[in-house]
Amino acid sequence: MSSSSETAQITPIAQPMLPADLVKPRMTLPRWTITALSVVVFFALWEILGRDVNPVFGSYPSAIFLAFIDIVRDGTLLPAFLESCKSFFLGYVLAIVIGVPLGLVIGRFRFAEAALGIFVTAGYAMPLVALVPLLVLWFGLGVAVKVAVVFLMSVFPVTINTWIGVASVPKSLLEVGRSFVAPGHVIMRRIIFPATLPYIMAGVRLAVGKAVVAMIIAEFFTALSGLGAIIINSANNFDTATMFVPVVLLMVMATGLTGLIGMIERRVAPWQSELSGRDSA
Amino acid sequence: MGQVAFAGVSKWFGVRVDGRMQGVQALKDISFTVENGQIVALIGPSGCGKTTALRIAMGLESASAGRVLVNGREVRGCGHDRGIVFQHAELLPWLTAEQNVMFGLEMKGMRGDTLRDTARRYLDLVGLADSAGRRPHQLSGGMKQRVGIARALAIDPEVLLMDEPFGALDSQTRETLHGELLDIHAGTGKTILLVTHDLDEAVLLADKIIVLRAGALQQTINVNLDRTGLDLAEMRTQPEFAQVRLRVWHALHGTPTGH
């Protein structure tokens, strides 16, 4: 065999070693297409099956959409939505602003854990619905009571997750701080906080659902207003399709917000998804 | 400049056995000295107290009795005169290799251009100049440990304390890092206290081997291996290597050496 034919034989073997070919991922459906397909199937089934149900007992997507157009046109939806959003975001942001530092302190200091931990654990199980009338007495019927209800409902998952996060920071990483003579506040800011960030984000994510539920509860039990008022009023009129509009809207909003938090998480804690090897939705 | 002296160091731990607290003595009246520029290996089976001894020298734990002196000053807590390399590197996962090295330097108060330059210089020293921007999970076990060594060396400590730094690595990587550590030692003249359970590692790297058994100092063995210009394979062929290795082996197993 001549040397030229040997090189000719070697070339095709060397070809697949190009890095671009090696790093090419296996062909799989992207996650969002699976999710989209699943949502389409869900709405299709709901539409088909929902049409056979008495419109007082149930509704279906196209009827809900028409009701949605109606209440957008007559100008009830947008102000109600904004009204609800105001108390939602105020309470939710307040829960993060207070819950995260509280969780960090409880997780970090033995004294704080022993003194305050029990209230946080108990507070998480607080039957808030029962306390709303009391809160109304304290805060009146305005926006303050709604913010308070949203805050009380969402602060505990944030605090507890942060607390668990601090408790699970490996001792070995804290010893890195100690070994290089880092002061306590530097250990907190540069080791404990980043190590806890994935837990904090999980708590912030869980709190979205809690806050949405709290917002509607608050609107039911106080001065009827916002999306909660639309739900109650249409339910009282047996207008089930219109009642579903805010329900679906809130679920869409919560899902979108959760996705947004996931994106923020991948920005602020990119090592986490790389470590676990998951591309969370 | 760095000298470490253990002076009658003992350590008791409280351990809960069947619901009752029991005192366990991890170290029994340990005394030895690491002279300036020496590499001293603390060797012994797991649970013999060698890591505890190193942690006391670092200031991560306190001695129940006795004391450790570094350059004549008693160890009370951690200090920048000592740099530690952990068994599993313990890099901060959210920082790049360079930022991990910079972390130690920042704690020493270094800022600005000197900070980055120093971190680069030490990453270069351990052969990782090209991986400065990588995060720990993008590094192999050997590379992580190199960053750990760079982080400890960068603060320019008087003594380098190493806790089984190569114990979690595969044998080829370990061998490479042994060579690199000897080169770094030759270049910097750092005093090194090294904890290991690896007989060959102790004999190849150390000037003196302290054998611990059940918390007590069993034997001190001096190593007079000629390391100048030799690689690790060549060191292994020296009669001194085989003799010292055998003596340490006997000391570890509590059998008479026959000398």
Model pLDDT for residues B56-100, shown as the tens digit of each residue: 999 999 999 999 999 999 999 999 999 999 999 999 999 999 999
pLDDT surpassing 90 at residue B117: yes
Q: What is the pTM of this model?
A: 0.82
Nearest CA distance, B137 vs chain A (angstrom)? 7
Q: Is residue A79 part of a domain?
A: yes
Q: Is residue A191 part of a domain?
A: yes
pLDDT surpassing 80 at residue A6: no
Nearest CA distance, B91 vs chain A (angstrom)? 8
Q: Is residue A166 part of a domain?
A: yes
In chain B, residues with a C-beta closer than 8 Å to the C-beta of A180 are: 78, 80, 103-104, 107-108, 155
In chain A, residues with a C-beta closer than 8 Å to the C-beta of B60 are: 175, 178-179
Nearest to A178 among B78, B94, B108 (CB): B78
Q: Print the domain residue range for A189.
A: 59-276
Q: Is residue A54 part of a domain?
A: no
Residues A5-31 have a mean pLDDT of 55
**B→A interface, C-beta within 8 Å:** 58, 60, 78-80, 83-84, 86, 88, 90, 92-94, 103-104, 107-108, 135, 137, 155
pLDDT surpassing 80 at residue A25: no
CB A144 within 8 A of CB A222: no
Phi, psi of B143 (to 5 degrees): -70, -40
Residues B242-255 have a mean pLDDT of 89
| Confidence tier at A163 by pLDDT (50, 70, 90) | very high
Amino acid at position A137, single letter: L
At residue A278, the pLDDT reads 56
Q: Is residue A49 part of a domain?
A: no
Asked if A269's CB is within 8 angstroms of B135's CB, the reply is: no
| Strands ordered across the beta sheet of B82-85 | B73-74, B65-70, B4-17, B20-34, B216-222, B208-213, B39-43, B191-196, B159-163, B82-85
pLDDT surpassing 70 at residue B146: yes
pLDDT tens-digit series, residues B29-52 = 999 999 999 999 999 988 888 999
Give dist(CA B123, CA B140) in Å, integer.
15
Nearest CA distance, A173 vs chain B (angstrom)? 6
B193 forms bridges with which residues in the sheet? B40, B161
B15 vs A155, more confident: A155
At residue A27, the pLDDT reads 67
Interface of A with B in 257-276 (CB under 8 A): 269, 271, 274-275
Q: Which of A49-58, A192-201, B141-150 has the lowest mean pLDDT?
A: A49-58
Coil vs helix vs strand at B227: coil
pLDDT tens-digit series, residues B130-140 = 999 999 999 99
Coil vs helix vs strand at A28: coil
Asked if A274's CB is within 8 angstroms of B78's CB, the reply is: no
pLDDT surpassing 50 at residue A1: no
Nearest CA distance, B18 vs chain A (angstrom)? 25
Q: Is residue A214 part of a domain?
A: yes
CATH number at residue A239: 1.10.3720.10
Coil vs helix vs strand at B103: helix
Q: Is residue A236 part of a domain?
A: yes
Residues B249-254 have a mean pLDDT of 88
In chain B, domain spans: 1-74+161-168+191-259
Asked if A275's CB is within 8 angstroms of B90's CB, the reply is: no
Q: Is residue A205 part of a domain?
A: yes
Q: Environment class of residue A55 by beta-carbon count within 10 Å: exposed (0-12), middle (13-18) or buried (19+)?
A: middle
At residue A3, the pLDDT reads 43
pLDDT surpassing 70 at residue A69: yes
Domain B1-74+161-168+191-259 has CATH 3.40.50.300: yes
Residues B99-117 have a mean pLDDT of 93
For residue B161, give the chain A residue with the closest CA.
Answer: A179
Of all helices (H) and strands (E), which one includes residue B41?
strand B39-43
Coil vs helix vs strand at A53: coil
Q: Environment class of residue A2 by beta-carbon count within 10 Å: exposed (0-12), middle (13-18) or buried (19+)?
A: exposed
Please state, for a pLDDT cut of 90, what percent of chain B lies above it. 68
Mean pLDDT of chain B: 91
At residue A5, the pLDDT reads 42
Q: How many domains does chain A have?
A: 1
